[in-house]
Structure 1
Amino acid sequence: MEDILTEIPPPSRFFLEDLNNFCPPSPPLPSPFLLFSTSNREKFSRPSLLIIAMSSPSLQIFHHVSSKTLVGTVILPEIPFSGNSVEPSLKDKSCNIYALNEDDNLIMIVSVQYPVTAERSHAVAKLLIGEQVIPEKVLILDSIRSSNFRGRLSPDEAFAFKLESSAERKAKADGHQDSPLVKCADYLPSGSVVDGLAAALLSRCQLKKIRGTLCVSWPEVGVSVISLVKSLLLKDVLSHVKHIDMKKLEEGFLKLGRSKDYLLEFELYT
């Protein structure tokens, strides 16, 4: 006679892995795509520099650069357009692409203003680097969370750190005049972590042997970090942009800072 107290029970039908066997798989999400607003897309397929802005400071800085021209957008099908304004706004959930001409060099700026999940990061990175756009150099601007940093970060002091692809380091070793792209920033300390879309973009640069630099700033929001990122860009990257009105930047930050929802949304992808 079986001992009901010590006998191993049969597998439960309520185990999560068993329940999943009876659920139809979720339909795959459509691939992201790049939509240019001009028929001459070849003109924008090989920029000398591609800047991908994801951090709050970098988005606000490029929003106030008046010399840029809107040339396209990246569509992520799961991100709704409802609530977006007609004119580009920092409150929109969008990913616009702008062109910035510097003499004969074409600089393209991608303003990523919606959350990109880890599962979608590689698809977006592939779209922006090496597939439809093949840049000579790439600069990625993101923020770092204190939980990803090995050490302590003071909320009252602004910092910027960088990581580089092998091609960028080789260009520096070969004595290229424009290398490193970001000169006034220390390397990210060993043990610190960068994840999400920023990591996928730098990995894409490494895979395609493109000169890539990832620059992360701290804190995620604030006037001090806006000033720091602006200084790095104007000194090392966009020397031809003569003036960006810091007063307008501060006013824009304070206006957005009054909206608690904006800051909560931004924590999802910075």
Structure 2
Amino acid sequence: MSMYPGSALPPLRDVIDRHELGAKKALGQHFLLDLNITRKIARLSGLERSETVVEIGPGPGGLTRALLETGADMIAIERDRRCIGALEELKPHYDGRLLLVEDDALIADEPALLALHGVNGTVRLASNLPYNISTELLIKWLKVTPRWWTSMTLMFQKEVGDRILAQPGSKTYGRLSVISQAMSKPEKGFVLPARAFTPAPKIDSIVLNFTPNPDISVDPLLLEKITAAAFSQRRKMLRSSLKAIFGNEVEAKLEEVGIPATRRAEDVPVKGYVKLCELL
């Protein structure tokens, strides 16, 4: 007997052909079919048998299979109705541990959904994110309180992942870097070449793992407001770019938190922005 309960399932390419699941560019879809890679993502997530995982945009079910192999329960949220039939075929192979929800992840109320289906406590989140809405989804999940996830294991275009992980002083350091690193602890998992996907995107991808950041507590709306002002004119000094928020007191406020008024947005560390939020 195979160690994997889903081993009797048909190959994903057959599922895609039978259900006519050509990836839709408008939905940012790029399917990941290599089970060795999806199992690697599942291992990175740290998912255990006793837990529940939410998957966003499962598509034909490549990552879904690997996550279910861990023995965990799953709630899969899929917007593309074409994929529901293919995902339904997985249910008999995994002892009823798969719940399918047809919904748009951008507007889905995950805490309410979990409560509706009797899931208590926090869960893990895993996804090969649709590239065209990946940052919007990330910010949504980072901002929500109380936090409903213990970890997020997410796939991004590599250039987006680089921005999330960027450090002060680098060209890629910006709003996304600050918000991601203030609201969580993002860590690099591994890089995937474009050829690993069907269809192949134009650039490589990266898997990141996010855990809550217990060292920082900040109002996400204030953080968005301050970083928007600072990075909208990233080559300007902060005494100029933040004047709209702090008015004539801008230099005094910057001095209060130990940031030189002549510093530019890209040179301020994450904790500097957190301190500025505390002033408001």
TM-score norm. by structure 2 comes to: 0.28
Which protein shows a greater Rg? Answer: 1
Report which of the two has the higher share of helix. 2
